[in-house]
Amino acid sequence: MIGDYTGSMDLFLYIRARNWPAVAGYGLFVGLMAVGYFYNVTFVQLGLKDLGERALGLSPAAVAQQMAVLALLTGVVALVVGFGMQRRGWGTSLLRKLQLALAVVLVQTGLTAVSPRIASSPQFLLWIVICSLALGVGVPATFSLTTDLVPVRDRGYVAAAITAVAYFAAAAFPGSWAIDSFSRTMLWLMVPGALGLGGIVALASSGRSFVAVWVAELSQHHRQTRFGNGRFVTNGHGHIDRRFFGFVALMFGIFFVDSLGFLRIVDTPILVDGAWQAAQQSPRLIIAMTHVVAALVAGVMYTYLDERHLFYWIFTLFALTHLSYTFRVWLLPETTVAALGTPMLYATAVSLYTVVNFALWSDFSTPRTISGNTAVGVALSGWTATFLSTALAIRWQTQGMLLDEHLRWVQALALLFLLAMLVVAVIRSPDRGNGM
Amino acid sequence: MKRIWLLFLLFFLLMGCDDGVYSSTLIFDGRHTFGSETRLPGDVLLRAGTTELAAGSQVAGSIYVLGGTLVANGQIDGDLAVLDGEVRLGPDAVIFGDLRTSGGKTRQADTAVIRGQTITGLALPLDGVQAQPGGWEATFRWLIGVLLLASLGGVWAQWQSRRQTQPLRNVADAALIHWLPSAALGLLGLLVLPILLVMMAFTVVLIPLVFVLGLIVSLVWAMGVVSLGALLGEWMAARWLKPTFRQPMSPGWTTFTGTVLLMGLFALPWVGEALLGLTAVLLLGAVLLSRFGTRTYEPPPTVVMAEDLSVYERP
């Protein structure tokens, strides 16, 4: 008997029980998702902008349009693939999901390798279309691995580990924000990753060797109570309900607010030169460590507290961050003094919501519904919001909107979401008596 | 009803921030001339534009110049801090505090008087840090503070012992039994709070709220220490005193003794500071987790488990 109350992770219990296949499942999931997310926040978000504007000489408005195409296609493909997987019952087939993930990794590796050689606008558009198809398949395929590899109780911690690794790498070793640099860095990770995943899928598909036994063992996990139904599945079938759409709207708001502000901030040298793009290592390390600490904190909070409180924190932090940036731009428009307080606030907010995003959708799902639910959650809230706001940010910039006005809009949006949440909370007046 | 009272208290505290407790003048643009009869009650912050203080005018606080032009020919009771912009001190200018410059241009008439120091490279004063007393005086102040906190905590614990709600117990339970979420929440608070306070102070407009927030943080800290002190005192009484005297110690006395001991531990060199840091994180989180002790924290059902280790073994 372990005891009536234990704050311990299931991972530690697997280690104590010497169940190494289950422990390796955690490693596979964290590795796959962390590299995938690192790719997303560096190569896709910053690299494509550089490729379009600097390397190809396209106008910011043209790049904004291409980004909107990427958003729309990714969202549509994710929904089609997600619900297709759900209909065919692939959500409960670990091998099939790994095969799909491998296909995505191979396509993305190829796209990453050819990206610096893109020389024209049609090639760029073709690249974007193929990238959207791959990302659209990748979202439901990889997120639905959760029900096989991560027990419900550990989803917050695992999401924290993914977030911490991805953001630490992105903040501590940013290199130059140029497509060539991103491409080289990513290939160092993706080629060995593709070979490793390819080996696992090949051996598991052949049905021989210890790898096949390992995958077969993991593929039975979703039948256990510990893995199967997420913590927010109350009706037993895990279908999308009103509450789910409430969270989609909130996550859409978060992604939208984050991306809308960040793309303008990264284009403002006085705001990034002393932080994300600092010449010295120490400011970048401080931001990277903030990401790690905030991710771990978010992992614990997600596990122990009512998820609404994380949303309160996130919107409050975003509002504060942009308020802080607005004051800085307003009061000290020409100062070169680098202050790390606001970037640290920003890093904290970003880590908090990323953890929620990695854990939330699977916790609303059963093994059968996870691919569809994840597609709706990640595609509608994450991809669509990020790239629509990116397009809007670039359009505002081209229309000549001043920096402080842009940041005030973002700050107002964050406050609006926070206020809306508080109003809804007061109207519904829930007293779940759970946590804070 | 309780919420209404809390909002009323906050409103009341903010009311106190009007002229008298804290006032300031913010100048963001345009041309402003303050005549010889003018008396500005608090600090002045200049962001841009041109401001002129005529001979005979008076600023009761400090002036912070972030940009624009200041032509000062009157009396400044506090400091003049120049971060950027242009400052001209006229022949009748008198600064009772320091002249601090870290940027911009400052010109001074020969007859202008600076009663304090002229400091270059440090525009914002750090006097509070240097002005801390040392030696016996510091020890005496610390002792008075500890005894006051322990006495108030003891009175509260004694009063609380006759009631059904147990705020101190709730906070202590959150800190000790649910230490992980408490530490996480505390860490998040400590990560955000200093940045928030500095940012609010930097805006000048929000300085009154810094005081309110500082007061709340102090109350949270005091409540946390007393809660933990109560538990420590209770434990000591059960372990050492009860077997000897066979008479239970009152909650007030156990809280008083535990709080004094806890504060004594914090005062130990090296170990005390580390203990203080860890406890601060834990207690801040515990107070928030138990909503200032108003409820007993209970983790969600997914965390509470009673399972056999064998279910984690390979099939």
Q: Is residue B224 scored above 70 in pLDDT?
A: yes
Distance from CA of A46 to the nearest CA of B (A): 27
pLDDT of amino acid B17: 54
Residue with tokens 């530490």, as numbered in its chain = B183
What pLDDT band is residue B14 in, cutting at 50, 70 and 90? low
Bridge partners of B101, per DSSP, are B82, B120
Out of B300, B306, B309, the one facing A435 most closely (by C-beta) is B300
Phi-psi region of A418 (alpha: psi -120 to 50; beta: other; left: phi over 0): alpha
Secondary structure letter of residue B299 according to DSSP: -
Question: Structural domain tally of chain A?
Answer: 1
* B310–A17 CB contact, under 8 Å: yes
Q: Is residue A119 part of a domain?
A: yes
pLDDT of amino acid A312: 82
- Asked if A307 is an interface residue toward chain B (Cβ–Cβ < 8 A), one would say no
* B309–A341 CB contact, under 8 Å: no
Task: Report the C-alpha gap between A98 and A108 in whole angstroms.
Answer: 15
Ranges B279-283, B291-295, B299-303: which has the least confidence: B299-303
- Asked if A7 is an interface residue toward chain B (Cβ–Cβ < 8 A), one would say yes
Task: Count H helices and E strands in chain A, helices first.
Answer: 18, 0
What pLDDT band is residue B4 in, cutting at 50, 70 and 90? low
Q: Of the spans A277-281, B15-19, B38-42, B174-178, which averages the highest pLDDT?
A: B174-178
Query: B60 with B80: CB under 8 angstroms?
Result: no
The residue ranges of chain A whose pLDDT is under 70 are 1-7, 174, 236, 238, 330-339, 428-436
- Show the tokens assigned to A323: 């308020």
Q: Is residue B196 scored above 90 in pLDDT?
A: no
pLDDT of amino acid A376: 92
Domain that holds residue A382: 10-428
What pLDDT band is residue B26 in, cutting at 50, 70 and 90? confident
Nearest alpha-carbon partner for B17 in B149, B212, B164: B212
Residue with tokens 């279309």, as numbered in its chain = A129
* B312–A16 CB contact, under 8 Å: yes
Q: Which of chain A's residues have a Cβ under 8 Å away from the Cβ of B315?
A: 217, 220
Query: A230 with A364: CB under 8 angstroms?
Result: yes
Mean pLDDT of B83-92: 88
Q: Which of chain A's residues have a Cβ under 8 Å away from the Cβ of B289?
A: 435-436
What pLDDT band is residue B307 in, cutting at 50, 70 and 90? low
Q: Is residue A2 part of a domain?
A: no
**How far, rounded to the nearest angstrom, does the alpha carbon of residue A82 sit from its chain's CA centroid?**
17
Distance from CA of A299 to the nearest CA of B (A): 9
Q: Which of chain B's residues have a Cβ under 8 Å away from the Cβ of A436?
A: 288-289, 291, 297
Mean pLDDT of B1-22: 58
- The domain segmentation of chain B, as residue ranges, is 21-125, 133-289
- The per-residue pLDDT for range B103-124, each reduced to its tens digit, is 788 898 888 899 988 888 765 6
Q: Which of chain A's residues have a Cβ under 8 Å away from the Cβ of B296?
A: none
Greater confidence (B39 vs B183) lies with B183
Across chain B, mean pLDDT equals 82
Chain A residue with CA closest to B104: the answer is A335
pLDDT of amino acid B6: 63
pLDDT of amino acid A94: 92
Q: Is residue A421 part of a domain?
A: yes
Q: Which of chain A's residues have a Cβ under 8 Å away from the Cβ of B195?
A: 324, 341-342, 344-345
Q: How far is CA A344 from each of CA A348, A350, B193, rounded to the nearest angstrom?
A: 6, 10, 12
Task: Report the C-alpha gap between B151 and B252 in whole angstroms.
Answer: 8
Q: Is residue A433 part of a domain?
A: no
ipTM of the complex as predicted: 0.82
Out of A226, A304, A348, the one facing B300 most closely (by C-beta) is A304
- Show the tokens assigned to A420: 């809306």
Put simply, the chain A residues between 179 and 218 with a CB less than 8 A from any chain B CB are 217
Out of A10, A231, A344, the one facing B195 most closely (by C-beta) is A344
pLDDT of amino acid A314: 81
Nearest alpha-carbon partner for A382 in A406, A398, A360: A360
User: Residue A412 belongs to a domain with what CATH number?
Assistant: 1.20.1250.20
DSSP characters over A57-104: ---HHHHHHHHHHHHHHHHHHHHHHHHHHHHHTGGG-HHHHHHHHHHH
